[in-house]
Amino acid sequence: MASVVIVTDSTADIPLEARDRLGISMVPLKVTIGDETYLDNITLQPVQFYEKLIASGNPATTSQPSPADFHEVYKKLTDEGHSVISIQLSAALSGTYQSATIAKSMLDDEADVTVIDSKSASYGYGMLVVTAAEMAKAGASKEEIIAEVHRLRTELRLYFLVDTLEYLKKGGRIGKASALLGALLNIKPILSIDDEGLVFPFDKVRGQKRAMARIAEVLESDFKDRPVTLVIAVTPGYSSGLTEISELLKERLNVRNYMETEIGPVIGTHAGPGTIGLFVFPERI
């Protein structure tokens, strides 16, 4: 039986240690700051990115991998006899998924590649990728892995709190008037991703403490006593409220596994420094 290899892209924000340990292949997106273009999480790490972003004073831009980038990875793996499951950033947020599907169409018919739209972002699908890779390493079949990915995708919950609306304004996600009003009133929008993979404002709360309490309330209602994995992703240097929100969620939820990770350059381009992402997944039975 052919072994299953998991492929993803850099916006999954999976730590290098986990990618290496689980044999996950990663295709990077690109980030441009000024006149320089970098490979996300390869030639530009999160700490460097946020330093450059703040120093430049100008918005960064991002671009998806080309079909050729994916084709190179898929061809190497399938030529070696592997089956491939490729899990990508939400197609509603990026053309990355489309590049991956085009790359699949460029392969020979016998090449076994399945491309999945995560309909999520950052570790919201990073956890799907890690789970898939853990199952592959344990010898699960391709069908079993795909079924579990789809199950988790429907059950995960994710929320983002941004420190400032400035980067959402620069990226065209909100208007100048909304950004100014939010800053004046200390409005903290709680962002999430809907079933179609689009970012939407889940709620608007005045002040970070109230925003954290609101998220905890919603998650407790969703999961009750079910055992869950909690992952908190932050931008490098973030400290405000991290301990507070982690302790609050551990008090309100049945947290079996807890992890912290970093929000990478591509997601950070649109969310900005000081962003915190909360990802909760029910444990596999």
Greater model confidence, 183 or 64: 64
**Mean per-residue pLDDT, 97-121:** 96
Q: What is the pLDDT of residues 191-215, one digit of tens each?
A: 889 899 888 878 888 778 888 899 9
**How deeply is 276 buried, as exposed, middle or buried, from its count of CB atoms within 10 A (0-12, 13-18, 19+)?**
buried
Distance CA 51, CA 53 (A): 6
Architecture of the domain whose range is 157-282: 2-Layer Sandwich (3.30)
pLDDT of residue 149: 96
33 near 59, Cβ under 8 Å?
no
pLDDT of residue 97: 97
- Collapsing DSSP to helix, strand or coil, 144 comes out as helix
Picking from 9-23, 174-188, 204-218, 239-253, which range would have the lowest pLDDT averaged per residue?
A: 174-188
**How deeply is 187 buried, as exposed, middle or buried, from its count of CB atoms within 10 A (0-12, 13-18, 19+)?**
middle
Write the DSSP symbol of residue 185: H
Write the DSSP symbol of residue 165: S
Distance CA 78, CA 206 (A): 51
pLDDT mean across residues, the chain: 88
- Collapsing DSSP to helix, strand or coil, 174 comes out as coil
Q: Is the pLDDT of residue 103 over 90?
A: yes
Residue pointed to by tokens 């079909």: 67
- DSSP H or E segment with residue 116: strand 113-117
Domain span(s) for CATH 3.40.50.10170 in the chain: 4-29+64-154
pLDDT of residue 263: 92
pLDDT of residue 34: 87
Q: Which two tokens stand for residue 243?
A: 């301990």
Provide the 10 A C-beta neighbour count for residue 176.
9
In angstroms and rounded to an integer, the radius of gyration of the C-alpha atoms of the chain is: 19
Question: pTM for the whole thing?
Answer: 0.89
**What is the band of 184 on the pLDDT scale with cuts at 50, 70, 90?**
very low
4-29+64-154 CATH: 3.40.50.10170
**Mean per-residue pLDDT, 24-46:** 94
pLDDT of residue 238: 63
**Among 245, 241, 247, residue whose Cα is nearest residue 214:** 245
pLDDT of residue 202: 84
**Mean per-residue pLDDT, 25-29:** 97
Q: Is the pLDDT of residue 25 over 80?
A: yes
pLDDT of residue 169: 56
pLDDT of residue 165: 64
Domain span(s) for CATH 3.30.1180.10 in the chain: 157-282
**What is the band of 57 on the pLDDT scale with cuts at 50, 70, 90?**
confident
What DSSP assignment string belongs to 83-94?
EEEEEES-TTT-
Q: Is the pLDDT of residue 174 over 60?
A: no
178 near 165, Cβ under 8 Å?
yes
Taking CA atoms, 94 is separated from 38, 102, 182, 283, in Å, by 17, 14, 26, 29
Q: What is the pLDDT of residues 125-173, one digit of tens each?
A: 999 999 999 999 999 999 999 999 999 999 999 998 877 666 665 554 4
